[in-house]
Amino acid sequence: MTWKPRTVGIIGAGTMGQGIAQVCATAGLQVILFDIKTEQVSRALDLIAKNLSREVEKDRCSAEQKEKIVSSIHPAQQLENVKADVIIEAVAEVIELKQSIFRRLEDVNGADTIFVTNTSSISVTSIASEMKDPSRCVGLHFFNPADRMKLVEIISGDKTNPELVFKMREFSALIGKTSVETKDSPGFIVNRVARHFYTEAFVLESEGVAGVDGIDALMRSAGFKMGPFELMDLIGLDTNLAVTKSIHVGFKGAVRFSPSSRQQQLVDSGRLGRKSGRGFYEYREGEK
């Protein structure tokens, strides 16, 4: 029997949360969207509407479908207002923050609610460890931009109920994603492999082999949709750096996963990529 939730709660209305909200609403689900910054939820709704307007212009979506999708996303004023069949956290890669969110929501949601972490690199077992019932927690890692990237990783923690893996496979198919299952290890599959895409790009630039523009152009010409610096700007340099640090710690300081001091300097100066208007490149207001 196919499992299908009715409501999905999403915590975090940044680039990732916004994309997850859009794909869930497009699949016909009712979405509750919360962010500690209420203006971020409004911004996310505006960007989703703009994204869908482009789809209407390209005849990939009707105006009626667009309105139905947008009207399916409901802002929540307080975290405890998020009550749903599935709750997905899409917040910063800070384990204490993720644990706190799940602890608070576990108290106000029913016994059947599934708690999903979108962590890029932190152990699902560790995130779930502060819950009253860690068997209710599972990892489902989306990739940026979540409304276009088809892959998701399903990660089981040590105490994850095996039934949740089945349900995440069903949920992934429902929202149009292709799922792969991976063990709970640092960076899982994609981010573990992708670290070298980013870290080696920094090495090439620092050694003067090629500049940011040149490296990105070469990678695009080799068949990549985006070069490493363009992709870091899209993901957010702070998010990308946090993932690198997490994997570096997870592999006990292995040199091959060492974070770049250049990236740290950019983050410290507020150059976070598209979301701040400037990273390796500069962006116009509202550009995605």
Helices of type H across the chain: 15-26, 38-57, 63-71, 95-106, 124-128, 162-174, 190-206, 212-221, 228-235, 237-250, 261-268
CA distances from 23 to 7, 19, 175 (A): 13, 6, 6
The one-letter amino acid at 102: F
Q: Measured between alpha carbons, how far apart are the two ends of the chain, in Å?
A: 39
Residue 144, both tokens: 């940026």
Tokens of 98: 């993720």
Which residue among the candidates 72, 109, 121, 141 is catalytic per the annotation? 141
Is 81 a catalytic site residue? no
What's the token pair of residue 138?
Answer: 């599972």
Given 89, 93, 106, 153, the catalytic residue: 153
Q: Which of 179, 191, 240, 246 is catalytic?
A: 191
Active-site position among 51, 72, 120, 123: 120
The question of whether 153 is a catalytic residue gets the answer yes
Tell me, yes or no, if 96 is annotated catalytic. no
The token pair at 279 is 């990273």
What CA–CA distance (Å, rounded) separates 165 from 188? 15
Contact partners, residue 182, CB within 8 Å, separation at least 6: 153, 154, 155, 188, 189
185 is catalytic: no
Burial 89-98 (b: 16+ CB within 10 A, else e): bbbebebebb
Q: Give the tokens for residue 177.
A: 């994603």
| Catalytic residue IDs | 120, 141, 153, 191
